[in-house]
A and B are shown apart, each in its own frame.
Chain A
Amino acid sequence: MFKFTLSRLLQAVPVLLVVITVTFFLVRMAPGGPFSDEKAVPPEVLRALEAQYRLDLPLIQQYFSYLGDLARGDFGPSFRYPGRSVNELIEAGLPASAELGLYALLIAIVIGVLAGLIAAMRPNTAQDYIPMSTAMIGICLPSFLLGPLLVLVFGIWLEWLPVSGWGNIPGDKILPSITMGSTYAAYIARLSRGGMLEVLSQDYIRTARAKGLPERVVIVRHALRGGLIPVVAYLGPAFAGLLSGSFVVETIFQIPGLGRFFVQAAFNRDYTMIMGSVVFFALLIVVFNLISDLIAVWIDPRLRNPSRGGR
């Protein structure tokens, strides 16, 4: 297990390097710089600014000095928020984004897996069609549409829940979490239904039934593990997506999270902030993919020791 983790982390290094390199040169190649909007800046001030941010050095030198900073865990100073480093900005936005992502993920897993299970128990009956049609609606209503609709209905027409904010008014975390979780819940529902149907048709489920086990035991003990493997594989990318997809929700509900910083950074050509966000998300993707792979290995003993593999 340790070796597996280690080798996966080693494999991630070139991936991250490619990501960093491509982003770095892409950003620098683009017309316009972080200070080009400020028309009235005297040339000497501009030069001083450029020197401060090392923009006067040759590009390749900037690249390596940035890599050096990164290796020490330093994302560099923000170009647009003078006096603050990218690390500080990420730290400021992370708690809200992480909390939102966590709630959304919880909603997605609980509702998704339950709906998938219920549907898989009696395929092609109403018990299957109703949750699956609902899931389809969840997939077809993107967050930028669902969010405003929820606000319109529950916030403005019914006035049940607050329409924006984060942690200020009780209940203001409900709508954003639902908005963000619903699409993922819908995908998870479809995945777990498919996985469960696949597993329930396996011979070993018939064996379990032939042993006279109660249906509940057959489902929970024998079918669930195998049936949830597609869901587990999906969770890694999903979690990264939850974070990167959050800028819509953060914008709609005015939540001081990471997503908004990052979109702002792109609009502002805040080089270091753009780089910081790309690297940060790439890192998240790598880590969460690894975690979901580790869970898959934990579930499936056949993956634990491949050299002894049976079939």
Chain B
Amino acid sequence: MALLEVTNLKVHFHTRNGVVKAVDGVSFNVEAGQTLGIVGESGSGKSVCCYSLLGLVPQPPGRIEAGTALFDGEDLLRCSRRRLRQLRGNEIAVIFQDPMTCLNPYLTIGEQLIEPLLYHRKTPRKEARQQAVALLDEVGIRQPERRFDSYPHELSGGMRQRVMIAMALIAEPRLIICDEPTTALDVTIQAQILKLIKDLQHKRQVAVIFISHDLAVVSEVADHVLVMQNGRVVEQGEVAELFSNPSEAYTRKLIASIPDGAKSAAPERRELQPHPLVSVSHLRTWFRDHSIGLFSPAAAKAQRHIKALDDVSLRIERHEILGVVGESGSGKSTLGRAILGLAPVTDGRIIYDGRDITNLSARAMKPLRRRMQMIFQDPYASLNPRMTIFETLAEPLLVHGLANRRTVAAQVLALMDDVGLVRTCIRKYPHEFSGGQRQRIAIGRAIATRPEFIVADEPVSALDVTIQAQILDLILDLVARHDLTMMFISHDLGVVRYIADRVLVLHRGQVVEEGDTGKVWAAPQAEYTRELLQAIPRLAHVQP
């Protein structure tokens, strides 16, 4: 008998706009000591499915309509709230996605860590503390005695996720549900956390349900995989079998969507001219650290600068795509914004098409704005929610005098065709579109003025993998058709490898490595680049 047997689980949400079948007849088993990976895009019901087992889905609007979930022979969906509470944190524990928001900021991590022991085991406080400190040590937190009394905000993201893992393990549960446990983390930290989860699982022989949108991550940790779409199970099977030989079209599409391999287009478009389009030399952007108290010593104040960019030099040739790679806090976004004059420059020079544009005034910059544009990361924040698509796309055309009121409609429609938007939705507002469509609108706005240079800041990071693939192809297509030069900023090495001709690796505001994408991948020079490349989860088991 399996540890957990879920049959025909149905969870519906009853909203004002009708019933949403979040989970619609899902069945699966989890064997003791094994890992089940659940893969799906946003809205596939993968999280709801697991939360409903523990009674963590808010009801209403949620309602469990049907199904059984036998945990060690006991039906989780039918047991009392009291019994369910006894199981939670004790027999079944959860590790959530975002360690920044999932720890209570008002309590020390020690206090939160020992709660399962205090309430389930009635362990005396002193003993609980000893166990907690030992466990903190085991999950790789240095100075566990001291950290026990720290508050969450005093720890880094990776550290907090280790605390979350310790919290899940402390009552020695038999099943752990990991919901996207590494999605909010940088890739090198992700590799460490994944390894930690695997090690602990083998050591303690717990069963794990590992939920993720990232196929590669799942393929690394899971024994058995479940693919979900729109609340239903599309396919399930052994990990090696499923990934090497997927039987369903959707699974194949998912696998194909992973940006894999080098850029297909040959880099021959690049014309090496004596003058690059953009050249940046010794760029520094330092921000004053505003978090300093009023009475901190003057000596400390002098050093309190956040060096977002520290002596960065680069060239972008015409018609190339330069990928800029870095983890959070590496300064990659600031670099893109500084080039476009949207972030301050402390020192250094930015030359655009032979002209010094460092700290140019808004007025002097305006004619250049037509030629350089930006695509932002979050398609939900980068569009004015109170303007229709028509207004959004018409604005740059009208402001730069590229259209008059008669011709603008035709131009906007052409633009919409260009980025693959349906013409009939021209009068709709951003909130009526999906993330991918919004990103198409944002791209349309960026290319409206027929610019020659575009900075794309993580344009696909907020999108699902299948949508991501479509948008990447759209970008490549537009770059080719409109002869664009692009700076493509991303934390995702797979995406950069797929799209960029040349790559620049940033680490703590400095350039660590620069070179042709193929060469950097084949033979990274810097230690940090090697570390980064090693940390990328790879789709194991796939036969090319």
Could you tell me which A residues sit within 8 Å of B by CB distance?
3, 7, 202-204, 206-214, 217, 221-222, 225-226, 299-302, 306-311
B115 interface residue (CB < 8 Å to A): yes
Q: Knowing A299-B106, A310-B154 touch, does A213 contact B115 (C-beta < 8 A)? A: yes
Say yes or no: B98 contacts A212, CB within 8 Å.
no
Say yes or no: A212 contacts B294, CB within 8 Å.
no
A204 to B107, CA, bound (A): 11
A211 to B95, CA, bound (A): 10
Q: Which of B45-75 contact A (CB under 8 A)?
A: 54, 56
Mostly, the B contact residues are: loop
Additional 19 contacts, C-beta under 8 A, given A7-B294, A211-B115, A308-B154: A202-B101, A203-B101, A207-B102, A207-B167, A209-B56, A210-B88, A210-B96, A211-B89, A211-B167, A212-B88, A217-B115, A300-B105, A300-B106, A306-B291, A307-B289, A308-B153, A309-B153, A310-B153, A310-B154
Give per-residue flags for B450-491: 1 if the beta carbon is below 8 A from chain A beta carbons, else 0. Answer: 000000000000000000000000000000000000000000
Contacts of B292 in A (CB 8 A): 306-307
A225 to B112, CA, bound (A): 14
Contacts of A213 in B (CB 8 A): 85, 89, 115, 119
One of A202, A212, A226 near B90 (C-beta < 8 A):
A212
With CB as the reference atom, state the residue of chain B lying closest to A124.
B60
A308 to B289, CA, bound (A): 11
Say yes or no: B89 contacts A301, CB within 8 Å.
no
Q: Knowing A208-B104, A211-B116 touch, does A307 contact B291 (C-beta < 8 A)? A: yes
Could you tell me which B residues sit within 8 Å of A by CB distance?
54, 56, 85-90, 93-94, 96, 98, 100-107, 112, 115-116, 119-120, 151-155, 164, 167, 289, 291-296
A208 to B116, CA, bound (A): 9
One of B85, B89, B105, B296 near A204 (C-beta < 8 A):
B105
Say yes or no: A212 contacts B87, CB within 8 Å.
yes
One of B87, B88, B153, B291 near A301 (C-beta < 8 A):
B153
Total residue contacts A-B, CB cutoff 8 A:
97
A311 to B99, CA, bound (A): 12
A225 to B104, CA, bound (A): 10
Say yes or no: B153 contacts A302, CB within 8 Å.
yes
Contacts of B154 in A (CB 8 A): 308, 310
Say yes or no: A222 contacts B104, CB within 8 Å.
yes
Contacts of A309 in B (CB 8 A): 153, 291
Say yes or no: B103 contacts A217, CB within 8 Å.
no
A179 to B269, CA, bound (A): 81
A300 to B96, CA, bound (A): 23
Contacts of A202 in B (CB 8 A): 101
Contacts of A307 in B (CB 8 A): 289, 291-293, 296
Contacts of A209 in B (CB 8 A): 56, 88
